[in-house]
Amino acid sequence: MKRLAPICLLLIGTMLLMAGYQDATAAPKVKLHVVGKSMNQRPSGSTWAYNPGLLVAGLGSKVYLYADTTGSADTTVTSWSWSVTAGTATLDSGATSVAYNSFTPGATGTYTIQITANATGSSATSSVTVYVSTYTGNTANPMDAPPGCFCHSNGAVTGGVDYFAKWSKTPHATMMKRGMMGQQEVVEETNQGLYAQGCTNCHGVAPEPLVDNGNYAFLAHTQPAASPNSWDSIWVKGLPKTADGRDVMITVGVDTIWNKMPADVKLRATIGCENCHGPAAGHKAGGAASMIAVSAKSDACNACHDGSKRHSLGSWARVSRHQTGHTIEGEGGNSSCAKCHSGQGFIDNVKNGSVSVTPEYAETPIGCPTCHDPHDTTNVDMYQLRKVTVTLSNGFTPPGEKTGYLCMNCHQARSAVTTYVKPNEPAAPNGNKYYGFKSRFYPHHSNQGDMLFGQNGYEYGDTRLSGLQTHANLEGACATCHMAMRPTGSGNEMPNHQWDMDPTRYTAGLNPLYNPGKACESCHGVEDYEQIQAAWDYDGDQVVESAMAEVEGMMTKLKAFLPKNTSGEVIGGGSVNATDSAAVANRFDYVAGIWTYWFVEEDRSMGMHNAKYTVRLLGKALNETWANVEIDRENFGQPETYALSQNYPNPFNPT
């Protein structure tokens, strides 16, 4: 009976928790958001409605709401209370729905929705205000005012930056025009371009054919006359079709079709300001900032870039670690973290060279606008990436511009190795030498850029190691492998926006199964990076294994010799305490070995990013004889001779 008592108490406690009971002093946290619903996110069997998830919504367009309770810890929300405190609207899921709800505004103006999350003995409230307006359209002519966004073309409200003119030169601005002039998906043999009737649904302003709010699709369906003679169906008549009947074929450069488009439809025949910032009629009339939306989230992009298998970038990005594992807590974190862990923080850092922490940082994951600037044409041939250069923390700047250099602006060590590993520091007041072992002693969690270029590892005084590379000439650097083209299931391929190289994270569903290891095949002849063979037996276990297995073996040997914490991990991989500092006092060999261990571990590729540099660093740390032989930077094969330089005493290898 004595043995059963603890079990009964455990069961009772579990039942109370499930029933919603909790510590009366605990309070939930709640933040109400407007969220988008892409075509691929719509419930099965339902009709998709255009929804970019902005704080400015189109008249008659459904607005989706989500109550986020992140930060509530173990506090259990027992009930929800929804209310409309400004405007007149009916909440689709009622006043006591769970965390999701929605409404369809029947008039222009301001709507405020409030949510209260109730827990036992406490509650939390949040609200969101949505401005509802109609679409006016704009053309790619920066002088087209008032339909064009004139204030944003003369720089009066944008600090002198002509955003409208910059946007007018982007592929978004002229997408439909180029399609109707045969300038997209050109078949060179026939000098014709392929374009489909359905393409215009996403290449125009806010495509929602059943909602009368000034959007492209509705006007195209009703102009110049009632269906079936409306523009959305007559423009394709008489054009030759492809064998599968999906696309029409248009002679390249002929503007006949485009010029026949009704004038009010043409104003909206572009992916324009209102696609990203919401319907602008109220803003243009009154100019209030609350009447236009600015968002660094992906929702507006996914309204088009997450529809069908062919256009499903959002579905892949949504399950990436960028959007699921890298967020800023609290009111936006600190500037050091926010510049990489917040989408808006990264944008501000690229634009201004620094960040000023705001609560918005906590609400913007790393999404489409984080990497891509919809206004900029500087890097239009490189997918309008915000930055295609990089300087690592040790001052190294790789030459030229590459898509993957954008990634390295965050995927690099926080500081130079010389800040942490200092072999020549004078003795501290207690008589022990200080070698740079600080409160945090590791290259942070993403030093992939450093590893790729053979930079910022502790090189044990061997200058030959600096710059040693395995993947020196990858066309896109990181993007070559992590964004290799993946199948869409419709005869096309698109860059992999899940980025992950772990094949187990790709599952069946909307998209076909994908093996990221195929990126290795063209160079290594295998579709599994774990099968890439090592040049020799690096770890000395008398078996030549895969490069990853050999590196893992070396890491096991190094770990065995280094001081560890109570969890069995090598110290220095997180915050360092006094006990850790004492363990390395006057032991530079430990300090250097710990940095090397975490430099390889935090790279998280076990040598795949740069086998040459990884193996040499570990060899130096372990004082392996081959680690000091002459380095052939072109061929990383079995060394012909061995020459051991003076490196004694070494506690890892005292012989």
450-479 mean pLDDT: 95
Q: Determine the pLDDT at residue 642.
A: 43
Lowest mean per-residue pLDDT among 81-85, 430-434, 482-486: 430-434
At 256, give phi and psi (nearest 5°): -60, -50
Q: Determine the pLDDT at residue 124.
A: 93
Average pLDDT, the chain: 85
Q: Determine the pLDDT at residue 141.
A: 57
Q: Determine the pLDDT at residue 432.
A: 81
- Does residue 72 register a pLDDT over 80? no
- Does residue 18 register a pLDDT over 50? no
- Does residue 42 register a pLDDT over 90? no
- Does residue 3 register a pLDDT over 60? no
Write out the two tokens for 377.
Answer: 């044409």
Q: 208: which residues sit within 8 A by CB, 6+ positions away? A: 49, 50, 58, 60, 61, 215, 217, 218
Confidence grade of residue 363 (pLDDT, cut at 50, 70, 90): confident
**Which residue would you say has higher pLDDT here, 336 or 477?**
477
Lowest mean per-residue pLDDT among 276-290, 327-341, 380-394, 440-454: 327-341
582-605 mean pLDDT: 95
- Does residue 136 register a pLDDT over 70? yes
Starting at the edge strand found earlier in the chain, the sheet holding 79-86 runs 56-58, 122-133, 109-119, 79-86
Lowest mean per-residue pLDDT among 171-175, 434-438, 583-587: 434-438
- Does residue 600 register a pLDDT over 70? yes
The Cβ-side half-sphere exposure at 540, using a 13 Å CA radius, reads 14
Q: Determine the pLDDT at residue 110.
A: 96
At 385, give phi and psi (nearest 5°): -70, 145
Q: Determine the pLDDT at residue 163.
A: 83
**C-beta contacts of 629-633 below 8 A and 24+ residues apart:** 631/464, 631/465, 631/468, 633/468
**Which residue would you say has higher pLDDT here, 430 or 143?**
430
261-265 mean pLDDT: 90
Contact 178, 186 (CB under 8 A): no
- Does residue 82 register a pLDDT over 90? yes
85-93 mean pLDDT: 94
Q: What is the DSSP letter of 12?
A: H
- Does residue 647 register a pLDDT over 70? no
50-65 mean pLDDT: 94
Q: Determine the pLDDT at residue 636.
A: 53
**Which residue would you say has higher pLDDT here, 649 or 560?**
560
Q: Determine the pLDDT at residue 140.
A: 60
Lowest mean per-residue pLDDT among 153-157, 311-315, 622-626: 153-157
Contact 274, 136 (CB under 8 A): yes
In whole angstroms, how far apart are CA 601 and each of 328, 536, 588, 608?
Answer: 24, 21, 20, 12
First to last CA, the chain: 61
Q: Determine the pLDDT at residue 589.
A: 94
Q: Determine the pLDDT at residue 333.
A: 61
Confidence grade of residue 2 (pLDDT, cut at 50, 70, 90): very low
- Does residue 195 register a pLDDT over 80? yes
Confidence grade of residue 329 (pLDDT, cut at 50, 70, 90): low
Q: Determine the pLDDT at residue 643.
A: 43
Q: Determine the pLDDT at residue 327.
A: 64
Convert the pLDDT of each residue in 209-230 to its tens digit: 889 999 999 999 988 876 667 8
Confidence grade of residue 633 (pLDDT, cut at 50, 70, 90): low
Confidence grade of residue 644 (pLDDT, cut at 50, 70, 90): very low
What does the angle CA 544 – CA 545 – CA 550 come to, to the nearest 5 degrees? 100
Contact 448, 433 (CB under 8 A): no
243-259 mean pLDDT: 93
Greatest CA separation found in the chain? 92
Lowest mean per-residue pLDDT among 142-146, 248-252, 380-384, 565-569: 142-146
Confidence grade of residue 460 (pLDDT, cut at 50, 70, 90): very high
271: helix, coil or strand? coil
Q: Tell me the C-alpha distance between 295 and 360, whole Å.
A: 10
Q: Determine the pLDDT at residue 325.
A: 67
Lowest mean per-residue pLDDT among 169-173, 232-236, 263-267, 643-647: 643-647
- Does residue 309 register a pLDDT over 80? no
Convert the pLDDT of each residue in 99-130 to its tens digit: 899 999 999 999 999 999 998 889 999 999 99
Confidence grade of residue 509 (pLDDT, cut at 50, 70, 90): low
Among 160-174, 321-335, 466-480, the range of highest mean pLDDT: 466-480
- Does residue 655 register a pLDDT over 60? no
Confidence grade of residue 551 (pLDDT, cut at 50, 70, 90): very high
Q: Determine the pLDDT at residue 308.
A: 74
Convert the pLDDT of each residue in 533-545 to its tens digit: 998 899 999 999 9
Confidence grade of residue 5 (pLDDT, cut at 50, 70, 90): very low
Beta-sheet pairing, 122-133 with 56-58: parallel
> pTM value?
0.88
- Does residue 73 register a pLDDT over 70? no
Confidence grade of residue 254 (pLDDT, cut at 50, 70, 90): very high
Contact 232, 200 (CB under 8 A): yes
